[in-house]
Amino acid sequence: MGRKTLISLVSVVCLMIVVAAGVYWFDSINKETISEGVTIGDVDVGGLEAEAAASQVRTNLVVPLEKTLKVTYGDEDFELTEKEAGIRTDIDAMVDEALAVSQEGGLPGRTWRAITGEEVDHEISPEIAFDEDEVEHFINHIGNVLDRDPVDASIDPSGGSLQPVAAQTGLKVDPDRLRRQVEKALYDPTERKLRAGVDEVKPEVTTSQVAEKYPTYIVVNRANFTLSMYRNLKLEKEYTVAIGAQGFETPVGEYAIESKQVDPVWSVPNSAWAGSLAGQVIPPGPSNPLKARWMGIYNGAGIHGTEDVGSLGSAASHGCVRMAVPDVIDLYDRVDVGTPIYIG
């Protein structure tokens, strides 16, 4: 080997030693620096040393997570504070993982990235924990407040007139969906306000179905001495009537037309007030007080016509509902057996 060749070889070796030393020196001074392209959650920590990275994570991830989480539905607001949720974060573990990722690929890989500016492109999931029991309690509380059974449509004749009660849609919190929403938000500092996952529950009986169920309905208002006939839940006709006198009150409650009869026969009750007629059967005619029409209601009481029109608008009967003859004929033709009647 010639002298020049030897010198060249020694020079190459020395250069390699210098380069290797430089590489090791460069790698050693960057050992505590996180590679470009590394993120913790959405926080970019590339190019930062451990302490600076921890500060960035604390400012941009942890502090926002400590803000109160709000769940809303309509006018209702529900709040879950950081203390109640028991949110815990391990910043050191996240930064250590970022440093470990930055060391991957060994010395050659790290050197190549340093020379070419190539990024690692790695996202680290945040090290976040929370109290699952408290979150479950929070979800149950929301359900207890918001859950509402549906209300079937119905009618209310108790006020002296027929009042339709509209159907109401119920509400039911979906606990699984809400739990997913809340847990996702607890990991995401940008989500501090959520709308509760709530399903609507339809009533089984709608207002239109109630109208179909009660095509005709009678309400007797004893206080006002009126009989009102409704069709499809709307007032169709109103009549002045007489009701039972004191001691012979017209029965109160909800009944139905049990029977109908034109020019009715009167089966006289075996009661003291009937006098000598008690227990008799009186055919249609001048001596029969049941005029023109009869619509039986309950236990011998019914609706019938009367010639004593002066008694209308008062408590004068022995329990029946009296009507003027033209009125009872008119009502008779409007209702069927089975028509409900409420007396209040």
Residue 298 shares a structural domain with residue 229 = yes
Nearest Cα to 332, choosing from 265, 263, 253, 272?
Answer: 263
Q: Mean pLDDT for the chain?
A: 87
Residue 202 shares a structural domain with residue 250 = no
Residue 293 shares a structural domain with residue 316 = yes
Helices then strands, counting H and E runs in the chain, come out as: 10, 25
What single-letter DSSP state applies at residue 209?
H
Q: Is residue 291 part of a domain?
A: yes
Enter the tokens of residue 161.
């007139």
pLDDT digits (tens, 9 = 90+) for 72-114: 999 999 999 999 999 999 999 999 998 888 877 555 555 555 6
Residue 200 shares a structural domain with residue 229 = no
Q: Is residue 85 part of a domain?
A: no
Q: Is residue 160 part of a domain?
A: yes
When pLDDT is averaged across residues 291-309 and rounded to a whole number, the result is: 95
How many other C-beta atoms are found inside a 10 Å radius of the C-beta of residue 285?
A: 8
pLDDT digits (tens, 9 = 90+) for 304-324: 999 999 999 999 999 999 999
H/E/C letters for each residue in 86-149?
A: CCEECHHHHHHHHHHHHCCCHHHHHHHHHHHCCCCCEEECCCEECCHHHHHHHHHHHHHHHCEC
For residue 266, give the CATH number of its domain: 2.40.440.10
0.75 exceeded by the pTM?
Answer: no
Residue 154 shares a structural domain with residue 226 = no
Residue 136 shares a structural domain with residue 241 = no
Residue 24, pLDDT above cutoff 50? no
Please count the structural domains in the chain: 2
Residue 174 shares a structural domain with residue 245 = no
Residue 220 shares a structural domain with residue 306 = yes
When pLDDT is averaged across residues 35-53 and rounded to a whole number, the result is: 90
Q: What is the spatial distance between Cα 305 and Cα 293, in angstroms, rounded to a whole number?
A: 6
257 is in which domain, residue-wise? 214-343
**39 class by beta-carbon count within 10 Å (0-12 exposed, 13-18 middle, 19+ buried):** middle
Q: Is residue 116 part of a domain?
A: no
Residue 172 shares a structural domain with residue 242 = no
Q: Is residue 4 part of a domain?
A: no
Residue 328 shares a structural domain with residue 294 = yes
Residue 294 shares a structural domain with residue 263 = yes
